[in-house]
Every structure is written in structure tokens, then in C-alpha cells.
Amino acid sequence: MTRVILFLSLFLLAFASCDSEEKQFENELGDIANYIEDNNLDAQSTPSGLHYVELQQGIGNTSPTLYDNVTVDYVGEYLDGLVFEANQNVSFSLGGVILGWQEGLQLMVVGDTYLFIIPSRLAYGESGRGSIPADTPLVFEVTLKNF
């Protein structure tokens, strides 16, 4: 009997957690929609919830894969416009970064500059990272320099 109660308790906890994660995601999509409207952006979206805007078209004809090392310039900010990080000529393995970058950079060619508007589930999720709070959508302006 104790095992049945324990199993049911764990099941209900997992179900409630999934429900709250979905509500969080829906709230973030609303915040992202407001950001897009407030900034007059012509954004595209993917099934995962990534929103992006091509700001500058590059000259390449191939896109990086998860197995490529990429070099980028970027500025990261919150939806309120507060910048939390900016770097130039940063190189990394595409497969080793947040899911929003993995997905977004595979849409780009060398020389492209995109604006990524990323829900937290494709960024740092429920845990956050450093100065980035948990459950925080992020905005990145990214230029693909090389891969």
C-alpha cells in the first residue's frame, strides 16, 4: 500500500510539474509576442518556440551543423533591453551551447546577422545561469563570422 501511495504521489508531482512548465512557456510566448510587437519586428518562428529576425544577409551558401566550430559576435539582453553580455570573435562548438543558439545558427550563413528571441526552455530554463535568472526569455543579436 505504501508503494502505491508513493507511486501516485510521484506521478501527481511529475504531472503538476509538466503543467507548470507548460504555463511558464505560454506566459513567455506572450511576453515574446509583446516584445516583437513593441519593437515592430517581422519575426519568424520555429515549432520549438524560437523567434528570429534576419537583420543583415550574409554572403555564404552553407550553414553550420551541430558538429561545426563557429565564430560569432553577439550581444545578449533581456526582453526589457538590459544588456547582460557582449562579445566579439568568440569561437565554440555549436553543439555545446544553448538550444536556441543551436537551432538559430543552423539557419544562418557567414555574414548573416540575426536577432534571436529565445524562450527560457531553449536557453537556461528553470536553473538560470550566473546573472541570468531562472525562466527568463533572452534576446541575442548574433553575427556569424565563420565556421
Per-domain boundaries in the chain: 2-146
Strand spans (E) along 28-137 = 44-45, 51-56, 69-78, 83-93, 113-118
pTM (2 decimals)?
0.85
Report the CATH number of the 2-146 domain.
Answer: 3.10.50.40
Share of the chain above pLDDT 90, in %: 84
Instruction: For the beta carbon of residue 64, count every other beta carbon within 10 angstroms.
Output: 20
Count CA within 13 A, CB hemisphere, residue 12.
6
Average pLDDT for the chain: 90
According to DSSP H, which parts of the chain are helical?
2-38, 99-105
pLDDT band at 45 (very low <50, low <70, confident <90, very high): very high
DSSP state of 70: E
Q: Which long-range contacts (CB under 8 A, 24 or more apart) does 119-126 make?
A: 119/25, 119/28, 119/29, 119/32, 119/49, 119/50, 120/24, 120/28, 121/21, 121/25, 121/28, 121/49, 122/48, 122/49, 122/50, 122/98, 123/98, 123/99, 124/98, 126/21
